[in-house]
């Protein structure tokens, strides 16, 4: 089973940027992959995904600020987050867009002044 490890989170001021990294233990190139987030007391939501053909899609709340990309040769996916807002504060996870496999530990993003 593919294991997913997220990294790159941290504390950043509003308007700042972070780049999240998702490393997969095996190949994920044939899957649509996504970045999810879960804020305290809220359900996990899909914020961006990239298809196996590299088509991208974003939730309205992050469109124009976040960019998802992948490097299949490295089994790695990225989420560049710019113009961060306090409401982006959450634990961020990566997984398949459809039929998610086991979840990793996530990486915490906190946007606060």
Cα separation, 95 vs 1, whole angstroms: 12
**pLDDT tens for residues 57-98?**
999 999 999 999 999 999 999 999 999 999 999 999 999 999
Cα distances (Å, whole numbers) of residue 110 to 17, 75, 95? 11, 26, 21
Q: Are 94 and 107 in contact (CB under 8 A)?
A: no
**pLDDT tens for residues 47-60?**
999 999 999 999 99
Phi, psi of 69 (to 5 degrees): -150, 170
Q: Around Cβ 67, how many Cβ atoms within 10 Å?
A: 16
Q: What is the mean pLDDT of residues 26-34?
A: 85
């Amino acid at each position: 089973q593919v294991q997913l490890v997220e990294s790159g989170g941290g504390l950043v001021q509003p308007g700042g940027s972070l780049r999240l990294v998702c490393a997969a233990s095996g190949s994920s190139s044939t899957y649509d992959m996504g970045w999810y987030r879960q804020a305290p007391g809220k359900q996990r939501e899909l914020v961006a995904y990239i298809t196996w053909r590299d088509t991208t899609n974003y939730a309205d709340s992050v469109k124009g600020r976040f960019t998802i990309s992948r490097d299949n040769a490295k089994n790695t996916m990225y989420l560049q987050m710019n113009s961060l807002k306090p409401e982006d504060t959450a634990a961020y996870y990566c997984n398949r867009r459809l039929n998610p496999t086991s979840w990793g530990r996530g990486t915490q993003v906190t946007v606060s002044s």
